[in-house]
Amino acid sequence: MQVSSTLQPTAVGAGRTTSASAVRATSVAPAARVQVEAAGSALSGGLRGWLPELNRSVAQAQQSREFLDGVAGQLQSLKAGLSASLAGRSAAGTRVEDTLSALESTWADRPAASGGALDPQLRYTGPATASRRFTVRGLDFPSLQQGDRETLALSVGPAGQRPMPVVIEPGLSERAIVQRLGQALSPARVSVQRDDEGQLTFAVPEDQWPAVRDTLAVKGGGKRFPTGQFHRIRAEPEADAVPVAGWKTGTVDERKATLQGVLGSLDRVRDAQSAVGRALANASAAVEATRPAQGAAWAATAAEAFEAAGADGGYATRAALVSAVDGLNRPRVQSVLRAR
């Protein structure tokens, strides 16, 4: 085995040479070589490249928890202010208006503040993106199961786009209706389902909801829907879990109604907090499960693989190693060891 007599500086530890490391790297056993190559592959993207999906799940759950904690606090403040106002405390009115305005702003920021993982009903969807659920007048199970055979043409988006046809026949099962509509609307990223209350429900990624709401149209065969031109149909969104935009405080009756709405929203927020807490615990446990055992044997193997990767790897591996150990120094390592 030939070992180069030219000594090159390593990427780990300025001023050191790789003579001993190079020998170990070139004489490493096949099993250890696999570990070295695996380490080099993992390091090539830096430490941030590890477990991207799990890390995203944890981040979304943490963001959602912080958002829900903020909303819960504002709802509690609004509840206290409304109760004080109804009890006749004159100073409470201004605080109620300020809290209501702050809550409305917080709620409007929900998609970004929750990392896109909380839908308008505060259902936690992470790591998937939240969607907006809605119903469509005229597209319901009773209407579609009765009457004669008809071909409906559905349209979403600017005029002139290719329509999406679906054949409706009398006596179709609810499952068949869901499948046919779902297949027809899939190009528009609209999904279809039967909800827990037995209603025909549609859903679309939340950022695409305005386009669906403003452009959804249908053309029929003159039975359930008119023939000829496309006709706009109304998409009714599912009510928000915190419908703050509709809360009023001008009169005593409005404040009473708003207080009842606040109490109902608090219950939904608490349910969402529990769901997000479970999701965060599961995601954190999954991250921990991927960590290698912190034993002496693992440490020795990891150290050897790390050193061999630095000696035997190319520029990309060495660059990743430098990034990984950036900021590490003897005092910091010693302080960690003393803590253990």
**DSSP letters spanning 19-32:** HHHHHHHHS--HHH
Amino acid 49: pLDDT: 42
Q: The tokens of 32 are what?
A: 């250890």
What are residue 205's DSSP bridge partners?
Answer: 131
Range 164-198 burial, b when 16+ CB lie within 10 A, else e: bebebeeebeeeebbebbeebbeebebbbeeeeee
Q: Please provide the DSSP assignment of 206-254 as one string.
A: GGGHHHHHHH-EEE-SSSSS-SSS-EE--EEEPPPSS-GGG---SSHHH
Give the tens place of pLDDT for each residue, 44-95: 444 444 466 778 888 899 999 999 999 999 999 999 999 999 988 766 667 8
Distance of alpha carbon 141 from alpha carbon 275, whole angstroms: 31
DSSP helix/strand/coil, 60: helix
Q: Is the pTM of this model over 0.85?
A: no
Place of tokens 């599961």: 282
For 165, list phi and psi in degrees, rounded to 5: -85, 150
pLDDT one digit per residue (tens) for the chain, 340 residues: 443 433 333 333 343 334 433 433 333 344 333 333 344 444 344 444 446 677 888 889 999 999 999 999 999 999 999 999 998 876 666 789 999 999 999 999 999 999 999 999 999 998 888 999 999 999 999 999 988 999 999 999 887 678 999 999 988 999 999 999 999 999 999 999 999 999 999 999 999 999 999 999 999 988 888 888 899 999 999 999 999 999 999 899 999 999 999 999 999 999 999 999 999 998 888 877 776 655 666 667 767 776 776 666 566 666 666 666 666 777 767 766 665 5
Task: Give strand ranges (E) for the chain.
Answer: 131-136, 150-155, 164-168, 191-194, 200-205, 217-219, 231-232, 235-237
Amino acid at 63: Q
Helices 30-43 and 315-325: crossing angle in degrees, nearest 10, is: 70
